[in-house]
Chains A and B, each alone.
Chain A
C-alpha cells in the first residue's frame, strides 16, 4: 500500500541521516577504537524502531486525512484538500456532531470535576478529620478499577433508577472518573504549598476569601490547569464508560468505533489530525514562551 510506502520512505530517510552521521563521525580527528562495535548502532537503531512504532498510527491518520476516498478510507486514491475543507459535509454532519458532543461533554465534565476535585484535594491536605486516609484511598479506587467495571456498574444503576441515558448521564460518568485524577494532581500541589504563605496573607489583613483568591488559588493554578487538561483528555477519548452510559448520543470515539466496521470516513481522520496538531501547537507555544521568559530572567540577572 502506498501509505506504508510513504512511511517506508520516511524511515529510509531517517536511516540515511543516521548513516551520514556515522560517516562524519568516522572522519573526526579522533578515530573510534572499534568502528562497528554493536553498542554504537544497537541503541540508535532501537530508538528509531521505537519511534516508528509509536508514530505510525498518527502518521497514517494524518496522511489519510488527505485521501480522496469515497465511502471507506482504506486504500489510497489520490491527494485532496476536500476533506479538510468540507469536514461537516459527510453523512449530514455526523462526524462534526459527534465531535461537538465530545467537546461539550469534555468541557462540562472537566469544569465540574476540577472544581470538586480541587475542593477535595485542599480538604484532604489541609484539614484533619475522621476517615481522612480512608477517603484518600477510596478516591484512588476509580483509577485502579477497570473501566468496563465502572461503566457497566454505573449503567446498571442508571437503569435501576430509571434515568434515561443522554448527554447528562455521560457527563456524570465522566465527572466521576475525572475527579480522582484531579484530586491526585492538585493534592500534590497543595502539599507543596507552604502553609506560612496563607498565614502571611491572613496576617496582612486578608480575609479568608481574599487569602484564597489572592494567595492560595494563584499558587495552585498550575496544578489545577494540569488537572483540567488531564481531565479533558481523559473525557474526550473515553470510549468504554461512554458506550455503557450514552444511549443514542454519539461521541467522537463512539462514532469512530461504530463506523470502523463499514469504513471510517476521511473526515474523522481530519478531526483526529486537527486535534493532534492543536495539541502539538499548544505544547510548542508553552515551550517557546517558557524559553522566552527564561531568557528574560537571565538578562535581568
Chain B
C-alpha cells in the first residue's frame, strides 16, 4: 500500500473531468486541474462555489460522479480515504477530544504501524512549537494552538499532498496573519504539496504560489497571485480578487497596440495584449489604486485614459490611504484609492474632479459583468429549488 511509506516529497495532483452531483444540484461541473509537486496551491472562491467539495473529493471523503483523480500519476479515484497518501487539516480542526495532543498527532502513525510513533509525534509538535502541551487534551488549548495541532497531526504523516480546508477561518485577524506565515514556512521546510481552500482572497494571495479562482463549480482563472490581480480575465475574478472599476462599451478603435472602447462618449483604451476580446462590446477595467485624481482637467495624451468631470460623492479616510467615490455621468461610480502622501484628503465631497490612469494599467475582460451578481433575487426557479431542497433536508433531520 502506498500509504505505508513516507513520501520523500510532495506529489502532483491531477483532476480530469471531475463532476460531482448531489441530489438536486451539481456542485462541480467538468473540473480539470493540475497541481505541480511541491507547490502551494490555493483554491479561492465564494461559499458554495464547490471548492470544499473539490477538497473532499481529493481526500476521498466524497466520490466523484464522473472523472478521475490522480496523485503522483497514480489513479486513486476508487480508493478509500485511508488508502490515499493525503491528509487534511479540517476547518473545525476535528481533533479527537478523548485523546491527548500527543495521541492525536500519533494517530495516523499508529494506524500505519510506523516505528516509533511517539518520538515522531513529539518532533512534529516541536515543529509547531507545542511540544510542551503534548499531555493536554484539545479542549484545554486555544483556537490557534488547536489549529497548529491539527497541522502537526497532518504533516507528521508526510503526506504527498496536504489539504487545508479554510483552517484559518476561525482565528482572529492577528493570529491568522501569524499562522499564514508559519504555514508558508512549514511548507517550504517540509517541501510538501499544499492544496489550500479559502474564501479569503488576501490569504490566498499571501500564501500561495498559484491561485485558482473558482465560481459555480468551475475554475474561472488560474495563475500567480500578481498575474491574477493585475490581469483578471473575467468580471468575477476582477471583482472577487480585490476591487475593480469596470466600463463596458463598443470597440471604436482597434490598432496593433491598443483597443479602445467608447464609454459615454469618452475613449477608454486598453493594450491589445491585455484585452481578452478585441471586437464588439468589451469591458475594460482598472484597479482603484492605479487611478489618479485631478482637480483640473489633465492634458489629453494617447498614453493616458481620462474620465471626467465627475463629482466626489464620498471620501473615507483610512490612515494609509483615502478612498474616494466619484460619480461620472455615463460611466457610473468610480472607486479611487489614493495614498496619503499629503496631509489628509486632497479632494472633498462635492468637488468636480477628473480621473486618469495609464493605458498600460487597463485590462480587457472576456465577459461583460452581470448586473445582478452578489445579491441576486431569490425568486428564480433555481433558488426556489435550492430553498426546497434545504427545507427537505431540515425536515429529514427532524
Chain A residues at the B interface, C-beta cutoff of 8 Å: 128, 132-133, 194, 196-197, 199-207, 210, 214-215, 218-219, 297, 300
Q: How far is the CA of A132 from the CA of B136 in the complex (A)?
A: 40
CB of B90 within 8 Å of the partner chain = yes
Q: State whether A215 touches B96 (Cβ < 8 A).
A: yes
Could you tell me the distance between the alpha carbons of A206 and B96 in the complex, rounded to whole angstroms?
13
Q: Are A197 and B94 in contact (CB under 8 A)?
A: yes
User: Across the interface, do A218 and B140 meet the contact criterion of CB distance under 8 Å?
Assistant: no
The smallest C-beta distance from A184 to any residue of chain B, in angstroms, reads 15
Residues of B within 8 A of A206 (CB): 82, 107, 111
Do A203 and B398 contact each other (CB < 8 Å), given the known contacts A196-B94, A300-B136?
A: no
* Contact B140–A297 (Cβ < 8 Å): yes
Given the known interface contacts A132-B396, A196-B94, the answer about A204 and B80 at a Cβ–Cβ threshold of 8 Å is no
- Determine whether B382 belongs to the interface, using a CB cutoff of 8 Å to chain A: no
Question: Would B396 and A128 count as touching, CB distance under 8 A?
Answer: yes
Report whether over half of chain A's contact residues are helix, strand or loop; otherwise say mixed: helix
Some 19 contacts from A to B, beta carbons below 8 A apart, are: A132-B396, A194-B92, A194-B94, A196-B90, A196-B92, A197-B96, A199-B81, A200-B90, A200-B94, A201-B96, A201-B107, A202-B61, A202-B80, A203-B59, A203-B87, A204-B153, A205-B157, A214-B107, A300-B140
Q: For B103, give the chain A residue with the smallest CB separation.
A: A214
B88 touches A203 (CB 8 A): yes
B4 shortest CB reach to chain A, Å: 9
Cross-chain contact B90 with A204 (CB below 8 angstroms)? no
Q: Are B98 and A219 in contact (CB under 8 A)?
A: yes
Which B residues touch A200, using CB under 8 A?
Answer: 88, 90, 94-96
- Tell whether, in the assembled complex, residue B140 and residue A203 are in contact, meaning their CB atoms are under 8 Å apart: no
- Does B284 make an interface contact (CB < 8 A)? no
Interface: B86 (CB within 8 A): yes
CA separation between A300 and B100, bound complex, in Å? 14
Within the assembled complex, what's the spacing in Å between the Cα atoms of A66 and B275? 100
Contact check, B61 vs A204: say whether CB atoms are below 8 A apart. Answer: no
Report which of A133, A197, A210 forms a contact with B111, defined as CB distance below 8 A. Answer: A210
Q: For residue A204, which residue of chain B has the nearest CB? A: B108
Say yes or no: B112 contacts A205, CB within 8 Å: yes
Partner of B98, one of A128, A202, A218: A218
In the bound complex, residues from chain B placing their C-beta under 8 Å from that of A205 are 3, 82, 108, 111-112, 157
Does residue B97 face the partner (Cβ distance < 8 Å to A)? yes
